[in-house]
Structure 1
Amino acid sequence: MQFQRGRGRSRSHSRELYLQEQSLEVAALNGQRMGLQDDKDLQALLKGSQLLKVKSNSWRRERFYKLQEDCKTIWQESRKVMRTPESQLFSIEDIQEVRMGHRTEGLEKFARDVPEDRCFSIVFKNQRNTLDLIASSPADAQHWVQGLHKIIHHSGNMDQQQKLQHWIHSCLRKADKNKDNKMSFKELQNFLKELNIQVDDSYARKIFRECDHSQTDSLEDEEIEAFYKMLTQRKEIDRTFAEAAGSGETLSVDQLVRFLQHQQREEAAGPALALSLIERYEPSEKAKAQRQMTKDGFLMYLLSADGSAFNLAHRRVYQDMGQPLSHYLVSSSHNTYLLEDQLRGPSSTEAYIRALCKGCRCLELDCWDGPNQEPIIYHGYTFTSKILFCDVLRAIRDYAFKVSQYPVILSLENHCSLEQQRVMARHLRETLGSMLLDRPLEGATTSLPSPEQLKGKILLKGKKLGGLLPLSGEGGPEATVVSDEDEAAEMEDEAVKSRVQHKPREDKLRLVKELSNMVIYCKSVHFRGFSSPGTPGQAFYEMVSFSENRILRLLQESGNSLVRHNESHLSRIYPAGWRTDSSNYSPVEMWNGGCQIDTWSGNGRVPGPLPGQWGLRVRAEAGLPAGPQLRLQPT
């Protein structure tokens, strides 16, 4: 019996070594596919390390993090008893950004005692909480930050064939319960269920047998790829390819050119473009040598950025950016500070960062008196959490121009006392510095300046005393009462009022000169009707905020007047108060009327034709935005 137990331990140890070798081989292969073979940062991540996970001032826990051999998944240790193995994993593809230092709300608040070169954060694309981490050394933190940046970058640069092979290999590793590098039909069935792919067992078994060329009642790499292709076959793509190829089984250069011209509407379609696509996407070296494209290459092209319905040239600024601001559609956000719902959700500086990283150019700041003479931001009269005004300004300063150099508008909803308004003004000047536009531009005193003129500048939208020029500091009152009807209407929508704390709201605001003088081209005024011959109209630097319901009525009753008004003035639209679930209206009707700033409800969601930029609107058809050509592209 003693001998038998020894043999069992020996076999177990041998199998463990075998599995470790297999894991290293798979990791090396996947690293090579991404062009990161022998990379020191990648090797450090594959080895893994102990990191401190930070949640609050009192919650710091040591956890082990490790990059899996697929080079696409991070495993994190968990002490929760009921946690499943799958819940301890997250994909590299779910990562929005990796930040070094105290650059999230969590690390800013809870890790000030730790040097910045040991701190980093993983920000996710969805609503998942940001992962704030502290490494044991600056070198370890650098390995994680640089390693993740490299994996994200190189994964994005893989062609479709490499991505498919990588995905298939990952599927094999996950489904291969007995680690024999083969996929039995039962393993395949279980994995299809995990992927939520609904397929009839008899049909799956039929395809499985057709692909089992080795007759081993299991599938290996190439056979799994064949199974995947048969399972995901698209008849409409086959039909389109057959129409383009005629009687042949491949596309010639001339046939591909015709497809690009007539089906894809490529303006630059010609032999040079066709040959470059063949070179880039054709997996068959034989077909490539014969200057032909197979069906596989055709599908790879359709799935690529070159086959996208979005015009790649429009990822860069391609429009005339020298016209007045009123000629542009603006990616905008409403209640930007909220991460979740409008009544009880958390407020966070992270919401501003996410909005700016998505290309938002107009943010909202609802400002209220806070403790210790520090203004706060939250959704007034509700139970949403509160954040400091100064923290929001720091986040805006750091991220305002990461995506675009074109101007950012801060829409101030000011509910503060005179004392805290002065604190707001001081924070704005000290934090934003030269970014803040606090005086009219030379030559822009009779009409709005252009986005090109305002590059790198932050504009305030809010109440203002007097006209375009800042009030002199000599003489006159230090504070003046101004109308606050529009903000009152926005706050006091009956649908919201019935679901939140009942508090009285006045429609007058006392405004200090220091804050007023910072508002230049976006003076907030109440709508008094459209100008008519013989009556003075609204000044070019004055703008109105319309409710969703009111603008829809105006579009029906005075559509032409609204379009003419928006040729020279900015208009902001805010969603109906009943949208407390952060649902959004369609901005297209408002765009058609020339409205530029169509704000959406919370969660950093921003509408706009060109995220990251001010999109020039087409004025010939009452401001209809120009869209990309319709193209064939698989979903």
Structure 2
Amino acid sequence: CMSVMQSGTQMIKLKRGTKGLVRLFYLDEHRTRLRWRPSRKSEKAKILIDSIYKVTEGRQSEIFHRQAEGNFDPSCCFTIYHGNHMESLDLITSNPEEARTWITGLKYLMAGIRQYMEYCEGKKDTKCFCMWVKQTFEEADKNGDGLLNIEEIHQLMHKLNVNLPRRKVRQMFQEADTDENQGTLTFEEFCVFYKMMSLRRDLYLLLLSYSDKKDHLTVEELAQFLKVEQKMNNVTTDYCLDIIRKFEVSEENKAKNVLGIEGFTSFMRSPACDIFNPLHHEVYQDMDQPLCNYYIASSHNTYLTGDQLLSQSKVDMYARVLQEGCRCVEVDCWDGPDGEPVVHHGYTLTSKIPFRDVVETINKHAFVKNEFPVILSIENHCSVQQQRKIAQYLKGIFQDKLDLSSIDPGETKQLPSPQSLKGKILVKGKKLPYHLGDDAEEGDVSDEDSADEIEARTMDGRLGRRRKTMKLCRELSDLVVYTNSVAAQDIVDDGTTGNVLSFSETRAHQVVQQKSEQFMIYNQKQLTRIYPSAYRIDSSNFNPLPYWNAGCQLVALNYQSEGRIMQLNRAKFKTNGNCGYVLKPQQIRDSLGTFNPFSGDPLPANPKKQLILKVISGQQLPKPPDSMFGDRGEIIDPFVEVEIIGLPVDCCKDQTRVVDDNGFNPVWEETLTFTVHMPEIALVRFLVWDHDPIGRDFVGQRTVTFSSLVPGYRHVYLEGLTEASIFVHITI
């Protein structure tokens, strides 16, 4: 099937509002991109395989549904969803066999790429590295003859940000060029050349310091290095022998049970020496505490792919965020045609999607990656008739996944735990007042639209027409057990365990500033949800730190908006197995008004921790992604900035000096020191910048929770950049 895909297949490409276009679709020679021709913009006529989210069979996409008049055989149709905004590429083959070939082939490639990318993010090994070198060689081979001449090597050096003297490059080229074909390098010779060029002086000196100046480590010397430098416990002879068997490339060294410089380099670039504690890739925290004791990964207006006014609404966004670890998703429900409720952002031009499709998608993807409970935050704007349809779909589709506990949350003293709710979906929404009694089929509840909708109405000049109450049907009310929505302008504690206070970021900021201790005490018993202001029409995100510091559990962010805030959110929830639940620090869970996160000395009785961070070197740092000249631009002048993000008293940053003209293997050898009052809540952010005379350009970043740092010599792999890393030594 790969050969068929690389040869190419004629398919019809459907586009919104136009007739289908016949194009030749084919897989490139590296099997990393799907391309098509003809195209007026040939450079844009491609999709990276690793950007593909999923491939669906048949006529399932929105564009296929709109092409109702098209008489297409469903077995010839399939859709490729790709990119951050879940764009769809809708294709029709001439026969079912071709469709099956492409669907199977793409899913095979996706599985391989995903596995490879996951490995590259935290699990570097020799195979992954060799794949990268092979791809680098093929991209440098401009004429496709399977050989690299000296000019192609010089061009590659520039692309890789290597600024070596041409004389030195030629010398290494000649040393590697050992076959009869003088003047060119085969792939095998290029590997030799690359090893010469990329010999890590820092790692070689480290090896020599533990090997009594030999070029290898014995089992005993390796064990000493692991105990002394990497602070590892229970290091056995068998463990050291396993490292040698796995990472050593020389058969002679393997036979002698020693680890040479190449094997040592591979080991140091492996998961065992990543900055992130490998034990934290699994759930390791106590999951039997009440829900209010956890930070819960939460999404705002989950269905949107872009801005808040004009962007598309897609059910696939629910699948995406759930599989990323999000455990609280939002569904804005409105009356739709033919008695069917729809989901969209009210008072805007965002597109509408059927409520039923949303529920089916959540049902399918809620527990694929983990079993901890999902909270469905329902914003109900429907008539009673369509509310009953909502309740019908929730019960009929979720079935026993729906948590309908018979316990009265008004009588219980604490919320259930994530562990006890595994595999359950909790509906967060309005609930009928208790005084109505169980016989009332419907009743009035406050129409406290969330503050972002109040702002939206104000912006649109319609606030005066706002209703004070709305009708709520019994069927929908009864689905709300532990998560009764209360839109709030202040902290209201009526003793009911199951209330969820909802604050806009604007009001929440005021509460945090004026009543931080009272707010924290409230959050020790009940849930609070904070969400972006409606004035963020570009779907930008607010800073979640003040609300996490105050103990707020559900800090809802726009997952579709990549940037600093989502990077912090990912780092926050990557620990504890990326399960979407992170246990709050004990001081935030249990303080009785004695802990103020915003004071100058929030924990006077607790010893502070010192982070001593030696930034040693960088490896294969690319040019900035937004570089004006792309690969043709100047070689970068990198520096590293380290930022501590946590309590206000802990927030600070420091940076190394600039290394001129070297993105391939810059060396800093600089020590940065930070004092942290509350490491349990702190994030450590590593940023690489390219210095230029008029400012700086962003190269890459990695953010890690302080509690997930491991001491010793560690590699910090930059998020989303294959092979790019910085090498550090950590002392805590």
Instruction: For residue 165 of structure 2, give the secondary structure of its aligned residue in structure 1.
Output: helix
Instruction: For residue 345 of structure 1, give the secondary structure of its aligned residue in structure 2.
Output: coil
Can you list the C-alpha shifts for 1:436-488, whole angstroms capped at 9, x where unaligned?
22443599961322222222221111111124x9963x3x3x43222233x34
- Superposition pairs for residues 450-465 of structure 1, below 5 Å? 450-465=417-432
Instruction: For residue 519 of structure 1, give the secondary structure of its aligned residue in structure 2.
Output: coil
**Does the alignment pair 1:633 with 2:715?**
yes
Q: Is the 8 A contact 1:252 1:293 kept in 2?
A: yes
Can you list the C-alpha shifts for 1:296-316, whole angstroms capped at 9, x where unaligned?
223323333333333333333
**Does the alignment pair 1:67 with 2:66?**
no
In the TM superposition, what is the alpha-carbon distance from 1:80 to its structure 2 partner?
Answer: 1.8
2:698 alignment partner in structure 1: none
Cα distance in 2, alignment partners of residues 619 and 368 from structure 1? 39
Q: Is the 8 A contact 1:465 1:513 kept in 2?
A: yes
In the TM superposition, what is the alpha-carbon distance from 1:367 to its structure 2 partner?
Answer: 2.0
Can you list the C-alpha shifts for 1:132-179, whole angstroms capped at 9, x where unaligned?
334455544443344344444445368733333333333333332333
2:13 alignment partner in structure 1: 53
Instruction: For residue 371 of structure 2, give the secondary structure of its aligned residue in structure 1.
Output: coil
**Does the alignment pair 1:123 with 2:81?**
yes
Can you list the C-alpha shifts for 1:175-212, whole angstroms capped at 9, x where unaligned?
3233332112333455566xx54444x63563244223
- Pick aligned residue for 1:501 from 460, 475, 479: 460
- Superposition pairs for residues 100-115 of structure 1, below 5 Å? 100-101=57-58, 104-107=61-64, 110=67
In the TM superposition, what is the alpha-carbon distance from 1:544 to its structure 2 partner?
Answer: 0.4
Q: Is the 8 A contact 2:409 2:481 kept in 1?
A: no
Q: Is the 8 A contact 2:539 2:561 kept in 1?
A: no
- Cα gap change, 1:621/1:234 in structure 2, threshold over 3 Å: closer, same or farther? farther
Q: Is the 8 A contact 2:219 2:257 kept in 1?
A: yes
1:27 alignment partner in structure 2: none
2:396 alignment partner in structure 1: 430
**Does the alignment pair 1:291 with 2:250?**
no
Q: Is the 8 A contact 2:325 2:580 kept in 1?
A: no
1:10 alignment partner in structure 2: none
- Cα gap change, 1:270/1:440 in structure 2, threshold over 3 Å: closer, same or farther? farther
1:564 alignment partner in structure 2: 521
- Cα gap change, 1:153/1:352 in structure 2, threshold over 3 Å: closer, same or farther? closer
1:180 alignment partner in structure 2: 145
1:595 alignment partner in structure 2: 552
2:131 alignment partner in structure 1: 166
2:471 alignment partner in structure 1: 510
In the TM superposition, what is the alpha-carbon distance from 1:344 to its structure 2 partner?
Answer: 2.2
Can you list the C-alpha shifts for 1:537-594, whole angstroms capped at 9, x where unaligned?
3300111012324334434443333333222211111124443332323433322322
Cα distance in 2, alignment partners of residues 341 and 529 from structure 1? 29
Amino acid at match of 1:76: R
Cα distance in 2, alignment partners of residues 267 and 59 from structure 1? 65
**Does the alignment pair 1:521 with 2:488?**
no
- Superposition pairs for residues 210-229 of structure 1, below 5 Å? 210-213=172-175, 214=177, 216-229=182-195
Q: Is the 8 A contact 1:587 1:598 kept in 2?
A: yes
Can you list the C-alpha shifts for 1:72-104, whole angstroms capped at 9, x where unaligned?
3234222223424xx444433333334445565
Instruction: For residue 472 of structure 2, give the secondary structure of its aligned residue in structure 1.
Output: strand
Q: Is the 8 A contact 1:338 1:351 kept in 2?
A: yes
- Cα gap change, 1:404/1:137 in structure 2, threshold over 3 Å: closer, same or farther? farther
Can you list the C-alpha shifts for 1:410-436, whole angstroms capped at 9, x where unaligned?
111222233332332233233333322
Cα distance in 2, alignment partners of residues 309 and 104 from structure 1? 41
- Cα gap change, 1:574/1:204 in structure 2, threshold over 3 Å: closer, same or farther? farther
- Cα gap change, 1:130/1:205 in structure 2, threshold over 3 Å: closer, same or farther? farther
Instruction: For residue 557 of structure 2, give the secondary structure of its aligned residue in structure 1.
Output: coil
- Cα gap change, 1:323/1:136 in structure 2, threshold over 3 Å: closer, same or farther? farther
- Superposition pairs for residues 354-365 of structure 1, below 5 Å? 354-365=320-331
**Does the alignment pair 1:490 with 2:452?**
yes
Q: Is the 8 A contact 2:372 2:424 kept in 1?
A: yes
388-397 vs 424-433, greater mean Cα deviation: 424-433
Cα distance in 2, alignment partners of residues 362 and 280 from structure 1? 41
1:280 alignment partner in structure 2: 246
In the TM superposition, what is the alpha-carbon distance from 1:628 to its structure 2 partner?
Answer: 0.7
Q: Is the 8 A contact 1:463 1:482 kept in 2?
A: yes
Cα distance in 2, alignment partners of residues 218 and 335 from structure 1? 56
Cα distance in 2, alignment partners of residues 264 and 385 from structure 1? 53
- Pick aligned residue for 2:35 from 76, 96, 117: 76
Cα distance in 1, alignment partners of residues 59 and 270 from structure 2? 36
Instruction: For residue 23 of structure 2, give the secondary structure of its aligned residue in structure 1.
Output: strand
RMSD: 3.4
In the TM superposition, what is the alpha-carbon distance from 1:402 to its structure 2 partner?
Answer: 1.3
Cα distance in 2, alignment partners of residues 444 and 144 from structure 1? 55
Q: Is the 8 A contact 1:355 1:604 kept in 2?
A: no
Q: Is the 8 A contact 2:489 2:507 kept in 1?
A: no
Q: Is the 8 A contact 1:341 1:602 kept in 2?
A: no
- Cα gap change, 1:578/1:448 in structure 2, threshold over 3 Å: closer, same or farther? same
Can you list the C-alpha shifts for 1:3-56, whole angstroms capped at 9, x where unaligned?
xxxxxxxxxxxxxxxxxxxxxxxxxxxxxxxxxxxxxx4444444434443334
In the TM superposition, what is the alpha-carbon distance from 1:363 to its structure 2 partner?
Answer: 0.4
Amino acid at match of 2:219: V
Q: TM-score, structure 2 length as denominator?
A: 0.70
- Cα gap change, 1:306/1:101 in structure 2, threshold over 3 Å: closer, same or farther? farther
Note the residue ranges of structure 1 that are not aligned, 5 or more in a row: 1-40
Cα distance in 1, alignment partners of residues 329 and 365 from structure 2? 12
Q: Is the 8 A contact 2:86 2:316 kept in 1?
A: no
Amino acid at match of 1:143: T
Q: Is the 8 A contact 2:541 2:561 kept in 1?
A: no
In the TM superposition, what is the alpha-carbon distance from 1:234 to its structure 2 partner?
Answer: 5.2
Q: Is the 8 A contact 1:118 1:134 kept in 2?
A: yes
Runs of 4+ in 1 over 6 A off after TM superposition: none
Cα distance in 2, alignment partners of residues 612 and 105 from structure 1? 31
Cα distance in 2, alignment partners of residues 506 and 248 from structure 1? 81
Instruction: For residue 391 of structure 2, give the secondary structure of its aligned residue in structure 1.
Output: helix
**Does the alignment pair 1:418 with 2:384?**
yes
**Does the alignment pair 1:370 with 2:336?**
yes
In the TM superposition, what is the alpha-carbon distance from 1:515 to its structure 2 partner?
Answer: 1.7
Instruction: For residue 715 of structure 2, give the secondary structure of its aligned residue in structure 1.
Output: coil
1:321 alignment partner in structure 2: 287
Can you list the C-alpha shifts for 1:327-349, whole angstroms capped at 9, x where unaligned?
22211111111111223222211
- Superposition pairs for residues 181-196 of structure 1, below 5 Å? 181-190=146-155, 196=159
Cα distance in 2, alignment partners of residues 148 and 591 from structure 1? 40
Cα distance in 1, alignment partners of residues 552 and 136 from structure 2? 48
Amino acid at match of 1:503: R
2:101 alignment partner in structure 1: 143
Cα distance in 2, alignment partners of residues 616 and 602 from structure 1? 18
Cα distance in 1, alignment partners of residues 209 and 550 from structure 2? 42
- Cα gap change, 1:153/1:353 in structure 2, threshold over 3 Å: closer, same or farther? closer
Cα distance in 2, alignment partners of residues 280 and 456 from structure 1? 38
1:14 alignment partner in structure 2: none
Q: Is the 8 A contact 1:530 1:537 kept in 2?
A: no
- Cα gap change, 1:454/1:90 in structure 2, threshold over 3 Å: closer, same or farther? same
**Does the alignment pair 1:406 with 2:366?**
no
- Cα gap change, 1:510/1:154 in structure 2, threshold over 3 Å: closer, same or farther? closer
Over the matched positions of the two proteins, sequence identity in percent amounts to 32
Amino acid at match of 1:275: L
Q: Is the 8 A contact 2:442 2:474 kept in 1?
A: yes
Q: Is the 8 A contact 2:34 2:49 kept in 1?
A: no
Cα distance in 1, alignment partners of residues 63 and 209 from structure 2? 56
Q: TM-score, structure 1 length as denominator?
A: 0.80
Note the residue ranges of structure 2 that are not aligned, 5 or more in a row: 590-679, 682-704, 717-724, 726-732
Amino acid at match of 1:480: G
Aligned residues: 577
- Cα gap change, 1:264/1:339 in structure 2, threshold over 3 Å: closer, same or farther? farther
In the TM superposition, what is the alpha-carbon distance from 1:110 to its structure 2 partner?
Answer: 5.0
**Does the alignment pair 1:609 with 2:576?**
no
Q: Is the 8 A contact 1:168 1:221 kept in 2?
A: no
